[in-house]
Amino acid sequence: MHKGDTIPGIITVLFGLLFVVATAVNPQLTAVSKTSDGVPGAGFFPYLLGFSTMVLGALLVLRGLRQKGQVQYINLDEETKQNLKTLALSVLGLVVFLVFWKLTSQFMICMLVLCLYLNWLFQRSWKFNIIYSAVFTAFIYLTFKVGFSIQFIA
């Protein structure tokens, strides 16, 4: 089931439902405008699109169930598992970078560390890693901080 269209379909239904519920609980978001007859209100479009998304998602779920596992989007062979590990660690690195940038406001140092980390993750040599990270950080510093006067305060 997880390999075909079923789970994306369920997520689509939930996504549409989220907007429908959020519209329904907000008294200002009505389907019909309170000021003029028959004219749509602020909730008209979210309702329309929310319900449409739910219907389309339900169709995708049905299609996924009919596929009976014949359609596969994720093929977890050994190399893909290794790739997924690298991908997850990269995303984690990016998230940690954002947290540290927000907490310390030391963008350049955080960026240098992120650059070193990503190159290490991609198994680059130490020599390459250090030179690349230093040159790239210097480029960003000179172009954006010195050139465009961007302060990078999160």
**Residues found near another protein in the complex (CB under 8 A):** 5, 8, 12, 15-16, 19, 22-23, 26, 28-29, 33, 36-42, 44-46, 49-50, 52-53, 56-57, 59-60, 63, 73-74, 79-80, 83-84, 86-87, 90-91, 94-95, 97-98, 101-102, 111, 114-115, 118-119, 122-124, 132, 136, 140, 143-144, 147-148, 150-154
CA distance 129 to 131: 6
- Among residues 68 and 81, whose Cβ is nearest to another protein? 81
Shortest spacing between CB 50 and another protein, in angstroms: 6
Q: Is 100 exposed, middle or buried (0-12, 13-18, 19+ CB in 10 A)?
A: middle
The answer for residues whose C-beta is within 8 angstroms of residue 77's C-beta and 6 or more apart is none
Q: Which long-range contacts (CB under 8 A, 24 or more apart) does 67-73 make?
A: 67/4, 67/5, 67/6, 69/1, 69/3, 69/4, 70/4, 71/3, 71/4, 71/5, 72/3, 72/4, 73/3, 73/4
The answer for residues whose C-beta is within 8 angstroms of residue 73's C-beta and 6 or more apart is 3, 4
- Among residues 68 and 151, whose Cβ is nearest to another protein? 151
Shortest spacing between CB 65 and another protein, in angstroms: 14
Shortest spacing between CB 146 and another protein, in angstroms: 12
- Among residues 130 and 144, whose Cβ is nearest to another protein? 144
- Among residues 6 and 68, whose Cβ is nearest to another protein? 6
- Among residues 56 and 65, whose Cβ is nearest to another protein? 56
Shortest spacing between CB 89 and another protein, in angstroms: 10
CA distance 40 to 3: 40
